[in-house]
Structure 1
Amino acid sequence: MNPFVFACITPHGSEIIEELSHQNPDLMSVTRGSMEQLGRYMVEAGPETIIVLTPHGVRIDGQFCVADCERIYGEVEDNGGKVTMERAVDRELAKAIVQEAKQGGLPVGAVNFATAAGPYSCLPMDWGVLVPLWFMPEVPVVVVTPTRTVGFAEHVRLGEAVARAVAASGKRVGLIASCDWSHAHDENGPYGFDPAAAKLDAEVVELLKENQIERMAEFAPEFIEAAKPDGIWQALVLGGGIPSADRDVEFLSYEVPTYFGLMCAAYHRK
């Protein structure tokens, strides 16, 4: 069963947001158009809460992290522009996800800051959350950060735990796997060039189109290290949360406008 009213894989490059792309507004225009479409799909689905899986949130060594605070607030600056965002956190659903994950034997921690509740209970919103949410309806969120120090199988199981918690909640919930892909496309980029980047991204595109997310777990560690993606872990959580038979996949776009790959895919409810 697919408990999510809508799910998607999105990138999170800052210049997808038009206000942060002043020097070259066409740089990520293909992806921006896809993100706008994903936002329309999410609006049509009418979620009460959106879960965001991000690689750049609070990291706990050896544990999955679920934000359990009153609100999250973030700022992103680029090209002389600045955007800010604040969202309430659906703490009831966040706690339920942690409970389901713990009952499934997964290493997981609920994270808060400053006070147990109230206005000071606020964690930073990273760009992996802010950028995709920029295109989405303004509803409460749950932020989950995977950990690369546990195996791929555990990420799939986390997705299953998230799905159980969502189904039990009775709420209309959307899901975003915030994923940039290989970061070694450009010799002048911060991670340099490796031919593995284009190869891994091409394989991911095919796996998404063929509805075979789970096969990303078959990538060799050396291949992943050479290509430097940051999307596999979140994608596997999404794959665990929605059984393949319940995924109606629409692949929207792929581009490499800078040193890292950007992909957009929609998962409609069957």
Structure 2
Amino acid sequence: MENILKYYLMPHPPLIIPTIGKGQEKTIQNTIDACNKIGKEIGNLKPETVVIITPHGTMFSDAIAISNEEYIRGDFGQFRDFDTQIEGTIDKEFNEGLINICERENISAAGVDSNLLRRFNRDYELDHGAMIPMYFINKYYKDYKIVHITYAALSDIELYKFGMAIKESAKNLNKKIVFIASGDLSHRLSEEGPYEYSPEGSKFDKALLENLQSGNVLNVFNMDKYAVQCAGECGLRSVFIMLGAMDKEKVNGELLSYEGPFGVGYGVMTFNNELKDDSILESLINMKREKLNKKILSSNPYVKLARESLNHYYSSGTLMAKPSNLLKELSEEKGGVFVSLKKFNNLRGCIGTFLPTTDSIAEEIITNAVQAATQDPRFTRVEEDELIDIDISVDVLERPHKTTKEDLDPKKYGIIVSQGYKRGLLLPDLEDVDTIEEQIQIACDKAGIDSNGDYEIERFQVTRYKEGD
């Protein structure tokens, strides 16, 4: 018998709690019924420990957070319900085994406590992503310890391996475990939702649930990145970890309920799994490598050169020489160049020159790609094993010209603000920079210039090349 008795996908809408919903919860009665069914089933299984993966605890960019004090509690005060409280005893024995496995397998995970979180001005507490599943469990069963885990923005492979570590820890301790992947699906199902509507939202929900029902794990990890980004979900990384814990099991999901009346998808699933002999980890790794190779082959010469520069640097420790077989505009023309690195759609490094500093655009790209990975003071150095998850863009800048605020357009023009030796540059068409005022303020902040004072403004246009375009 497997030590992980059952796996569940559960949503966490706060209004499902009657003292918060105040009647609105009846709109998602099917979701409530499905969650109650899971609560009763867990009560019958009587697990020693419940492992919950949540998106809403204190999240770190570089490490999965495992709550690691004796006890943990929380309330729904942020939703104006100060009376409903949830608490649990932490399974520290399980945590210790899990952390040791992660250290052995080089998985980025760490135990967190009040002292650590205080340094980040955060409280050690249960979040609603964990409390809502516990609310339904506690109706029927309370004699369990909890492993409270907040996922991080790590690669899908590392999250899968973390799930495998959870499975190994459960086996080593020979404990009866229940696993809950807490997560809502798309938050962009309708104009009434919490975020801007996207037609990709319903497509994402449908594809994810169908793949989980059919047990097509490779397809879950191969979902279109654009659709995932547009969906505005918070459950996919929880699912990645859960599927890792199911490694060497045949996944067979049963959809108990799916609703989305408030613009957010709530999926409730239970999994009946059978043991099998083979792991799919190697298949996942190979699939990821194939996707990267296809992306590189389909990329334009500008970002391909940036990728080659990074690969050469990490393999040799030196800057590559300018190749001889480049396009004329790359090898002979000069220009300022910015190279941006993104990981999981988050900036991971960006370095550039607004005027040429070398004899060609190619040399600017080669140099700035390496500096973006190793010299951006806002980030730690990019490690070689991160390159597979990095997306590259290259901006080639036209020469800047003096201008006024009235002639700016943050989607079309980048700007340079200057005051004496102080200078701040901001590229055009950046996410969440929609107004001239925002653009100027950010550029001034970068330069240490008072935006209400006197300064000169220059504007410039760029030609942007993205990997895979």
TM over 0.5, yes or no?
Answer: yes
Moved more, 155-164 or 61-70: 61-70
- The gaps in structure 2 that reach 5 residues or longer are 117-122, 275-469
| Match status 1:210 vs 2:214 | yes
| Aligned twin of 2:155 | 151
Residues 61-102 of structure 1 show CA distances to partners (whole Å, capped at 9, x for unaligned) of: 211111111111111154767521111101110111111112
Alpha-carbon distance, 1:43 to partner: 1.1
Residues 96-139 of structure 1 show CA distances to partners (whole Å, capped at 9, x for unaligned) of: 11111121111111111149xxxxxx821000000011111322
After superposition, residues 33-44 of structure 1 pair within 5 angstroms as 33-44=33-44
Query: How far apart are the structure 2 equivalents of 1:168 and 1:225?
Result: 37
Alpha-carbon distance, 1:20 to partner: 2.3
* Paired residue secondary structure (2:272): strand
Alpha-carbon distance, 1:22 to partner: 1.1
Alpha-carbon distance, 1:245 to partner: 3.4
Alpha-carbon distance, 1:214 to partner: 4.3
- Please tell me whether the aligned partners of residues 12 and 180 of structure 1 are also in contact (alpha carbons under 8 angstroms): yes
Query: How far apart are the structure 1 equivalents of 2:195 and 2:59?
Result: 21
Moved more, 48-57 or 209-218: 209-218
Query: How far apart are the structure 2 equivalents of 1:57 and 1:37?
Result: 25
Task: Figure out how many residues of one structure are paired with residues of the other and give that number.
Answer: 263
| Match status 1:231 vs 2:253 | no
Query: How far apart are the structure 1 equivalents of 2:115 and 2:222?
Result: 41
| Aligned twin of 1:49 | 49
Query: How far apart are the structure 2 equivalents of 1:226 and 1:124?
Result: 30
Residues 149-205 of structure 1 show CA distances to partners (whole Å, capped at 9, x for unaligned) of: x21111111100110001101111111000100011122333110000011001112
Q: Which has the larger radius of gyration?
A: 2
| Aligned twin of 1:83 | 84
- Please tell me whether the aligned partners of residues 53 and 177 of structure 1 are also in contact (alpha carbons under 8 angstroms): yes
Moved more, 245-254 or 154-163: 245-254
- Please tell me whether the aligned partners of residues 156 and 237 of structure 1 are also in contact (alpha carbons under 8 angstroms): yes
- Please tell me whether the aligned partners of residues 98 and 109 of structure 1 are also in contact (alpha carbons under 8 angstroms): yes
| Aligned twin of 1:71 | 71
- Please tell me whether the aligned partners of residues 4 and 178 of structure 2 are also in contact (alpha carbons under 8 angstroms): yes
- Structure 1 residues 183, 200: closer, same or farther in 2, change over 3 A? same
* Paired residue secondary structure (2:197): coil
* Paired residue secondary structure (2:27): coil
Residues 226-257 of structure 1 show CA distances to partners (whole Å, capped at 9, x for unaligned) of: 11111110101110101363444322111102
Structure 1 letter corresponding to 2:6: F
* Paired residue secondary structure (1:123): coil
Query: How far apart are the structure 1 equivalents of 2:47 and 2:54?
Result: 19
Alpha-carbon distance, 1:215 to partner: 2.3
| Aligned twin of 1:220 | 224
* Paired residue secondary structure (1:93): helix
| Match status 1:141 vs 2:146 | yes
Query: How far apart are the structure 2 equivalents of 1:244 and 1:40?
Result: 27
Structure 2 letter corresponding to 1:105: N
| Match status 1:101 vs 2:105 | no
- Please tell me whether the aligned partners of residues 180 and 261 of structure 1 are also in contact (alpha carbons under 8 angstroms): yes
TM-score, normalised on structure 1? 0.91
Query: How far apart are the structure 2 equivalents of 1:208 and 1:17?
Result: 27
- Structure 1 residues 33, 189: closer, same or farther in 2, change over 3 A? same
Query: How far apart are the structure 1 equivalents of 2:218 and 2:99?
Result: 23
Structure 2 letter corresponding to 1:84: Q
| Aligned twin of 2:373 | none
Moved more, 64-73 or 192-201: 64-73
Structure 2 letter corresponding to 1:49: T
Query: How far apart are the structure 1 equivalents of 2:109 and 2:241?
Result: 14
Structure 1 letter corresponding to 2:105: G
| Aligned twin of 2:249 | 245
Query: How far apart are the structure 2 equivalents of 1:165 and 1:245?
Result: 16
- The gaps in structure 1 that reach 5 residues or longer are 116-121
- Please tell me whether the aligned partners of residues 21 and 79 of structure 1 are also in contact (alpha carbons under 8 angstroms): no
Query: How far apart are the structure 1 equivalents of 2:99 and 2:244?
Result: 16
Structure 2 letter corresponding to 1:101: C
Structure 2 letter corresponding to 1:177: A
- Please tell me whether the aligned partners of residues 212 and 220 of structure 2 are also in contact (alpha carbons under 8 angstroms): no
- Structure 1 residues 214, 178: closer, same or farther in 2, change over 3 A? farther
* Paired residue secondary structure (1:130): helix
**RMSD after superposition:** 2.0
TM-score, normalised on structure 2? 0.53
Structure 2 letter corresponding to 1:38: I
Query: How far apart are the structure 2 equivalents of 1:251 and 1:44?
Result: 20
Paired-residue identity, %: 21
